Structure 1
């Protein structure tokens, strides 16, 4: 794990957008298509907006989520909606988006349908993650009864999870897919999350799911 500190969040957003663009361009130089996995939540929105204007061959970029709430794509809680509104605009509108939600299916049924289609998109070329104060990442939550399945080395490429205290069920990429990404990046803000991340280094993935992906990850932090 390598932590890069920024004086303020605006500087972080600008530099991380440039860093991700460079990693995507590098990946495109050696591959016909590349995969870019991104989180939901409020943190990545400004990064997405800056990245969307980047001049690269977005038509060869497959964008997918690290995890998704099991709600319709127009629901305010939908991560797909956030990505559509903040990333898949401007030049990045040419990217191919891989949705996870399937209307009419349960999270388990939907995950079974989607998982085989992800085979061609792993290992992930460029991965961007966030982290909660509880040290969760993607939809890998400590204390979730379904967490052990998503941490398993042979977990399917998309897992249904039912975290307690959350308003909806979710689906998530499993730990082995996240950790197997060729380029891993984590953005966190604030002293509380910085302290939580440092605690996670000494904990197991069951206690702190972010610990499952910390090897060779670039961490970007600003207060």
Structure 2
């Protein structure tokens, strides 16, 4: 794991966007199409704002969410909505979004359809993650039924999980898909999350799921 510290959040957003753009260009130099996986939440928004104008062959980029809350795509808490409004604009509007949400009553009903849609595009070329105060990444929350299966080396690419503390059930990418990304980045801000990350290195993956993706990960942190 590499740790990059920035003076402030604005500087981190700009520099991280540049690094992600460089990673995408490098991936496109090797492949005709690349897969860019991104999180929801509050931290990536400023990164998306800076990245969306980057000079990249966005028409050759497929964008995939690392996880999705089971709400309609126009819902304020939808990760799909965040990506459409803040990443897939300007030059990045030419990218293709691989839907993580399907119009089913439950995420469990959508697993097979989503898996079929994303499987031909794997592995992830460039991955951006966020992390919660409990050490979760994507929707791999500690204490969730089914977490052990999602963290297994041979886990299916996509799983439906119902974190007890979350407002909605989730669909999430699993450990082998996330950890198998060719370029992995984690963006966190604040002293609390820095301390969570430090503790995670001494805990089990079940207690702090972020530990499952630390190998080869570049962490970007700002106070």
- Give the alignment's TM-score, normalised by structure 2: 0.98
CA RMSD of aligned residues (A): 0.8
SS at match of 2:108: helix
Q: Note the 1:45-124 alignment, pairs <5 A.
A: 45-124=45-124
Structure 1 moving runs of 4+ over 6 Å: none
Please list every run of 5 or more consecutive structure 1 residues that lacks an aligned counterpart in the other structure.
Answer: none
Are the counterparts in 1 of residues 186 and 219 from structure 2 also a CA contact under 8 Å? yes
Q: Note the 1:127-142 alignment, pairs <5 A.
A: 127-142=127-142
In structure 2, the residue matched to 1:175 is 175
SS at match of 2:111: helix
Please list every run of 5 or more consecutive structure 2 residues that lacks an aligned counterpart in the other structure.
Answer: none
Are the counterparts in 1 of residues 36 and 61 from structure 2 also a CA contact under 8 Å? yes
Are the counterparts in 2 of residues 125 and 181 from structure 1 also a CA contact under 8 Å? yes
- Superposed displacement of residue 116, structure 1: 1.9
Are the counterparts in 2 of residues 200 and 208 from structure 1 also a CA contact under 8 Å? yes
Are the counterparts in 1 of residues 158 and 171 from structure 2 also a CA contact under 8 Å? yes
Q: Equivalents in 2 of 1:160, 1:152: separation in Å? A: 15
Q: Note the 1:141-152 alignment, pairs <5 A.
A: 141-152=141-152
- The answer on 1:220 being equivalent to 2:223 is no
- Give the alignment's TM-score, normalised by structure 1: 0.98
In structure 1, the residue matched to 2:18 is 18
Q: Equivalents in 2 of 1:140, 1:72: separation in Å? A: 21
Q: Equivalents in 2 of 1:186, 1:165: separation in Å? A: 23
- Superposed displacement of residue 181, structure 1: 0.3
Are the counterparts in 1 of residues 98 and 117 from structure 2 also a CA contact under 8 Å? no
